[in-house]
Amino acid sequence: MQSYQEMSREELLQEKKHLEAAYKKYANSGLKLDMSRGKPSAEQLDLSMGMMDVLGGGADLNCEDGTDCRNYGVLDGIWEAKVLLGDMIECHPDNIIIYGNSSLNIMYDTVSRSMTHGVMGNTPWCKLDKVKFLCPVPGYDRHFTITEYFGIEMIQVPMLPTGPDMDIVEDLVSKDEAIKGIWCVPKYSNPQGITYSDETVRRFARLKPAAKDFRIYWDNAYGVHHLYDIDQDNLVEILAECKRAGNPDLAYKFCSTSKISFPGSGVAAIAASANNLVEIREQMRVATIGHDKVNQLRHVRFFKDIYGMTEHMRKHAEILRPKFEMIINTFERELDGCGIGTWIAPKGGYFIAFEALEGCAKAIVARAKNAGVTMTPAGAPYPYGKDPKDATIRIAPTYPTLDDLKIATDIFVICVKLVSIDKIVRERA
């Protein structure tokens, strides 16, 4: 396909005329299509409905050790759930605390605890003049919302095909003791679908922070969310690597089953060193007597083990793979060679990131909205919702049906072309 940059003004305006006609048809058809959040579809949620039956009225609700899951107790989660989630995130059950349903809530609590009580004897962040966090971009908007809520200064670190730019990370962390953490989605990252390279993980584990209370916030949200059986990304396990590097306390690892079973009704956990877990349990004893053990048992009885979870995730992949492939195929057919955008074909996760021409993302999203397609706000994958280049657009393919997604993708492509033509023509004027 001919590059738009190589087309004459007359050719571009003729192309725009055809595109406007197609866009008008969609805009007048009353569509209401939602690609704004990474939610599982109803078809995906149906996969876990059997979980509703595993603990029937006559079910034995005792754990293997005899604990009655209906009652109080077991502060940090039942052993069976620790084994299941430990296998899911490649951590020993002894290094895991099971919480409620939300890993985001655990991350919020972890930052909040650091603000009010400090980290392992260090000064509480609220008593410091300045607290900073590193934020790989584009990244997960809800991570940034947490640090913004607490008034923590966020410093952008560009993402490379191998993960965050570690030259920048190492330099900043080693020189500034006000930097207390870094947000990471290390596997099938949100929104680009990048998995950190072995070297990147090992460099993380060998960081030499100026701040003794610096921690890596390792959100392994998509660790088992592959799109393919064989062609999968692999990630070096961060806690073992930190221990091997002599930095056992350096990382917190977060996970949940929110996009495995039911969002809002799953099981979430944190994994960390023994020293870190001692401090976390101290806060938990004040906040709760224990989280929902019945739900933990329900998940264990449904999945049985990691092999059952793996088979379950294959069913998810069968639903999601056609959606991701349809979008990538459409981009390759309609946009490849036009010189107006780039994208990455992920092997897993929940998103596709589209990089438009600089200054075009907000206009593309607004155009799509006017035609009936709701997308994540432009700028969302950046701290404070401000994309310096106004170029990144996060696409969430999971929730719509495949038929609706095809229409939404066609509209998106038209909007990309229209906004890009306007930019090119305007710059030539």
In this structure, what token pair is assigned to residue 292?
């929902």
Give the phi and the psi of residue 203 in degrees, each rounded to 5. Answer: -70, -35
* pLDDT score at 57: 84
Q: What is the pLDDT along the chain (429 residues), one digit of tens a residue?
A: 789 999 999 999 999 999 999 999 999 999 999 888 899 999 999 999 999 999 988 899 999 999 999 999 999 999 999 999 999 999 999 999 999 999 999 999 999 999 999 999 999 999 999 999 999 999 999 999 999 999 999 999 999 999 999 999 999 999 999 999 999 999 999 999 999 999 999 999 999 999 999 999 999 999 999 999 999 999 999 999 999 999 999 999 999 999 999 999 999 999 999 999 999 999 999 999 999 999 999 999 999 999 999 999 999 999 999 999 999 999 999 999 999 999 999 999 999 999 999 999 999 999 999 999 999 999 999 999 999 999 999 999 999 999 999 999 999 999 999 999 999 999 987
* pLDDT score at 274: 97
Strand, helix or coil for residue 134: strand
Number of Cβ atoms within 10 Å of the Cβ of 234 = 7
* pLDDT score at 58: 86
In this structure, what token pair is assigned to residue 273?
């060193």
Distance CA 294, CA 59 (A): 11
Distance CA 341, CA 415 (A): 12
In this structure, what token pair is assigned to residue 216?
């890596």
Print burial letters for 157-183: b (CB count within 10 Å at least 16), e (below 16): bebbebbbebebbbebbeebbbbbbbb
Q: Cis (ω within 30 of 0) for the bond into 388?
A: no
* pLDDT score at 222: 97
* pLDDT score at 263: 96
Q: Give the chain's domains with CATH numbers.
A: 4-44+310-428 (3.90.1150.10), 61-303 (3.40.640.10)
**Alpha-carbon dihedral 304, 307, 309, 314, rounded to 10 degrees:** -150
* pLDDT score at 56: 87
Is 352 within 8 Å of 324 (Cβ atoms)?
yes
User: What is the number of alpha carbons within 13 Å of residue 91 lying toward its C-beta?
Assistant: 30
* pLDDT score at 65: 94
DSSP H helical ranges for 165-252: 166-175, 198-205, 238-244
Distance CA 32, CA 372 (A): 5
